[in-house]
């Protein structure tokens, strides 16, 4: 059983919702990333999305675009990110790590080489924003051979036919983009999210996580009402940017923000169990 599958199985058995923070690897300094990952776990992260910085992150808003720029200025590469995961695994064997980014860095390394190295260091999943399932046969085969879950996005504009196709290829969980636009662009409409998740679940038994537009404990708890996982990105990355001149303070600051969301989600989960 993959670490991602086992994580969701355990959470669902306990009536809990997964909390998935996103941070960009190497932002604002490469040495901060591993301590930051451990701090996120201590604050309640169940799965971590580790962003692979890319020069043209077309689905991301200004906050994560700047994070990519900061990381790339530090010469962060896919190889160095895999080394960060290896360092993280020296102390943490159980928290799933999902690499999130774009196809170009993986193509540049070579899919087979990437799959072997990613499996060796303990990567559990990969979400490649600009890789449609129809063009992913070789990539999907290699990820499957090396036990790496392939996670795909579903958007508010995704048709039922395409949703069905994505569900055929997805492993680990499905990531629902809760708003139309780039990351951090707008506040989410929970009624619209609820309706879309009901539609997605017609085609898959995988857990469904919701991201984009979650900014605080209140919005995290609202999403936890309807989703299997709450994905938080831009809010955490904005906090990282605010502490970019004081990186030694950054893990504690970001962890505090995430802990607020964990507390709000847990309170909702407990209320749901008691009801």
pLDDT in tens, the chain (275 residues): 899 999 999 999 999 999 999 999 999 999 999 999 999 999 999 999 999 998 887 777 888 899 999 999 999 999 999 999 999 999 999 999 999 999 999 999 999 999 999 999 999 999 999 988 888 899 999 999 999 999 999 998 899 999 999 999 999 999 998 876 555 555 677 888 899 999 999 999 999 999 887 888 888 999 999 999 999 999 999 999 999 899 899 999 999 999 999 999 998 777 766 66
Cα separation, 80 vs 89, whole angstroms: 14
Nearest to 100 by CA among 144, 74, 67: 67
| Per-residue tokens: 2 | 């993959």
Specify the 3-state DSSP secondary structure of 45: coil
Contact 164, 40 (CB under 8 A): no
| Known active-site residue 216 | no
Q: Which residues contact 260 (CB under 8 A, 6 or more apart)?
A: 216, 217
Q: Which residues contact 182 (CB under 8 A, 6 or more apart)?
A: 58, 59, 60, 61
Q: Which long-range contacts (CB under 8 A, 24 or more apart) does 130-139 make?
A: 130/58, 130/59, 130/102, 130/103, 131/103, 133/165, 133/166, 133/168, 133/169, 134/165, 136/169, 138/111, 139/106, 139/111
- The CATH number assigned to the domain with range 3-274 reads 3.20.20.70
Cis before 19? omega within 30 = no
- Whole-number pLDDT of residue 272: 67
- Whole-number pLDDT of residue 213: 79
- Whole-number pLDDT of residue 46: 97
Beta bridge partners of 208: 174
Delimit the domains of the chain by residue range. 3-274
- Whole-number pLDDT of residue 8: 96
Active-site choice (60, 149, 228, 269): 60
- Whole-number pLDDT of residue 116: 97
Active-site choice (14, 29, 46, 49): 49
- Whole-number pLDDT of residue 111: 96
| Known active-site residue 124 | no
pTM over 0.85: yes
């Amino acid at each position: 059983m993959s670490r991602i599958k086992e994580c969701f199985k355990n959470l669902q058995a306990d009536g809990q919702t997964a909390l998935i923070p996103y941070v960009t690897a190497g932002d604002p300094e490469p040495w901060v990333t591993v301590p930051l990952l451990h701090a996120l776990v201590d604050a309640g992260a169940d799965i971590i999305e580790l962003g692979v910085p890319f020069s043209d992150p077309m689905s991301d808003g200004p906050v994560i675009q700047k994070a990519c720029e900061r990381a790339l200025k530090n010469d962060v590469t896919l190889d160095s990110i895999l080394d960060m995961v290896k360092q993280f695994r020296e102390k943490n064997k159980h928290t799933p790590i999902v690499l999130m980014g774009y196809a170009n860095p993986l193509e540049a390394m070579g899919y087979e080489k990437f799959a072997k190295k990613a499996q060796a260091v303990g990567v559990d999943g990969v979400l490649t924003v600009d890789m449609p399932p129809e063009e992913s046969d070789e990539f999907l085969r290699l990820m499957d051979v090396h036990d790496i879950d392939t996670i795909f996005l579903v958007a508010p504009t995704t048709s039922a036919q395409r949703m069905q196709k994505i569900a055929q290829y997805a492993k680990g969980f499905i990531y629902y983009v809760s708003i139309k636009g780039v990351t951090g662009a707008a506040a989410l409409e929970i009624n619209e999210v609820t309706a879309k998740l009901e539609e997605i679940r017609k085609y898959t038994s995988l857990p469904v996580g919701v991201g984009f537009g979650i900014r605080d404990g209140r919005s995290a708890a609202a999403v936890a009402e309807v989703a299997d996982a709450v994905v938080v990105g831009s809010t955490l990355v904005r906090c990282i940017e605010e502490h970019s001149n004081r990186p030694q303070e950054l893990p504690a600051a970001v962890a505090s923000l995430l802990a607020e969301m964990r507390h709000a989600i847990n309170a909702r989960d407990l209320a749901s169990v008691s009801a």
